Structure 1
Amino acid sequence: MDPSTLNIPAVLVAAVLSFVIGGMWYSPLLFGKAWMQENNLTEAELQQGNSARIFGFAFLWSLVMAFNLGMFLNDPGTTASWGAIAGFLAGFGWVAMGIFIIGLFERRSTRYMLINAAYMVVSLTLMGLVIGWWR
């Protein structure tokens, strides 16, 4: 796993893709209203946060996730299908299950856990697809 052979443009595109998916996922178009309801948040409360800090860190963490997945997929034989499978396995097997474990102890609803876990599964699957395809 030599970082010098990592396809940096693919990692950047994967990070941007994850960030964009998150924007759509948590918008009123998809699951934003349900997510707000599960967190007892209002539009006014969401407006109070430091948006530059929140979105800046969200993109940074997406970049870290894409880089990490890219390192796991940093093999000349990696294909788009294997990238998607690896992304799905990481999203479902590690991240989603972690969200469910934490959610159980925090007494969160199944709906809350599904919204967040499904975002991570979809995001990592598509990141893996991009990284695996762009060899």
Structure 2
Amino acid sequence: MVTLNYFAIATCTLLNMILGMLWYSPILFGTLWVKLMGFDYKKMKNDPNIQKRAQKGYIISSICHLLMTIMMAHFTEYTHASGSWFDGLKIGFCCWLGFTVTTMLPNQVFSKDNFSWLLTAINLGYPMVGLSMAGTILAAWH
């Protein structure tokens, strides 16, 4: 029987949301990301349609991060990484490499006429840090 630490799952979900907020903010990569995406900060702030889409995006992101963290909790349990933060880190990184990179990279390449490795690195870096962090916490707190 799989025993999940729901406090660790909730913590990882919340931390992943905070990481995303920082990652795509001017504090880290937001200014560069907006430029590479061809967006305009002023338009994004003042357009009610963009604001409405952003609200949906945050809700969907929260649900996806929760599901991702639950799956990471199962992976750490199945691989017996419990108690070893380093094993959890490796599992998170391997999940990122095996599942995220292999699905997001082709989408990035095909999504824009002016493909950018820098934009791709920003978009792939966030889940790498998030999954590695979640694996680390889930294994250490189990």
Q: 2:61 maps to what in 1?
A: 58
Matched, 1:30 2:32: no
Percent sequence identity is 23
Q: Give the one of 108, 112, 122 matched to 2:119.
A: 112
Residues in 2 aligned to 1:92 and 1:20: alpha-carbon distance in whole angstroms: 22
Structure 1 residue 77: deviation in Å?
A: 4.9
Give me the CA root mean square deviation. Answer: 1.7
Instruction: Give the superposition deviation at 1:17.
Output: 0.9
* Moved segments of 4+, more than 6 Å: none
Q: TM-score, normalised by structure 1?
A: 0.89
- 1:49 corresponds to: 51
Matches within 5 A, 1:1-135: 2=2, 5-47=3-45, 48-50=50-52, 51-75=54-78, 77-78=81-82, 79-107=84-112, 108-135=115-142
Q: What TM-score, normalized by structure 2, do the two folds share?
A: 0.85
Looking at structure 2, the residues matched to 10 and 65 of structure 1 have their Cα atoms a distance apart, in angstroms, of 13
**Using a 3 Å threshold, how does the CA distance of structure 1 residues 69 and 116 change in structure 2: closer, same or farther?**
same
Q: How many residues align?
A: 133
Residues 1-32 of structure 1: per-residue CA shift (max 9 Å, x gap): 63xx1111111111111111111100001100
Q: Does the 8 A contact of 2:81 with 2:87 survive in 1?
A: no
Relative distance call for 1:72 and 1:57 in structure 2 (3 A) is same
Larger-Rg structure: 2
Structure-1 separation of matches of 2:81 and 2:100: 25
Does the 8 Å CA contact 2:81/2:88 hold for their aligned counterparts?
A: no
AA matched with 1:131:
L
Instruction: Point out where structure 1 has 5 or more consecutive residues left out of the alignment.
Output: none
| Deviation for aligned residue 1:60 | 1.2
Tell me how far 1:72 sits from its aligned partner: 0.9
**Deviation digits for residues 45-103 of structure 1, max 9, x if unmatched?**
43332243222221111111101111111256522111111001111232123221111
Structure 2: unaligned runs, 5 residues or longer: none
Cα distance in 1 for partners of 2:116, 2:10 equals 33
